[in-house]
């Protein structure tokens, strides 16, 4: 099996994933998963598609992450891994979609408007 690549995005984060057959090692920007995401919750988020399909020990994953915060990066990586797994076996798509891993989350930060302190917040109104 050759390298399978996929892209995942969330907020400002972009994840490029390269999947090969292997022993289940996940490397992100030349660092291990535990080193890159010390939080066990974020490690769980990244591994969700692999756990769902029962193939945690089957593939080696190399990922390149760019932009965003750590939560956005973890969710972008989850989407990229899901997309790569579907490229390998298209029958898994229904299972991953049912769990919500195939949907790109469209929510992002609303832009700041001129004449306001934030996107929605207004300056305090003064009658006099």
Mean pLDDT, the chain, integer = 92
What is the per-residue burial (b if ≥16 Cβ within 10 Å, else e) of 106-119?
eeeeeeeeeeeeee
Among residues 61, 67, 94, the alpha carbon closest in space to that of 80 is found at 61
> Residues 74-99: pLDDT tens digits?
999 999 999 999 999 999 899 999 99
Residue 71 tokens, joined: 């939560």
pLDDT band, very low/low/confident/very high, at 128 (cuts 50, 70, 90): confident
Task: Check pLDDT > 90 for residue 41.
Answer: yes
What does the pLDDT read at residue 13?
95
Average of pLDDT values for 51-55?
90
Arithmetic mean of pLDDT, 95-124: 93
């Amino acid at each position: 099996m050759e390298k399978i690549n996929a892209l995942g995005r969330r907020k400002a984060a972009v994840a490029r994933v390269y999947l090969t057959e292997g022993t289940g090692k996940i490397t992100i920007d030349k660092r291990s998963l535990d080193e890159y995401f010390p939080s066990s919750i974020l490690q769980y988020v990244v591994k969700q598609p692999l756990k769902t399909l029962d193939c945690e020990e089957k593939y080696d994953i190399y990922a390149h992450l760019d932009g965003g915060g750590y939560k956005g990066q973890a969710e972008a990586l989850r989407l990229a891994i899901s997309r790569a797994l579907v490229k390998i076996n298209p029958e898994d798509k229904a299972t991953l979609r049912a769990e919500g891993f195939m949907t790109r989350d469209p929510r992002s930060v609303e832009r700041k408007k001129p004449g306001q302190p934030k996107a929605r917040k207004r300056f305090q109104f003064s009658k006099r």
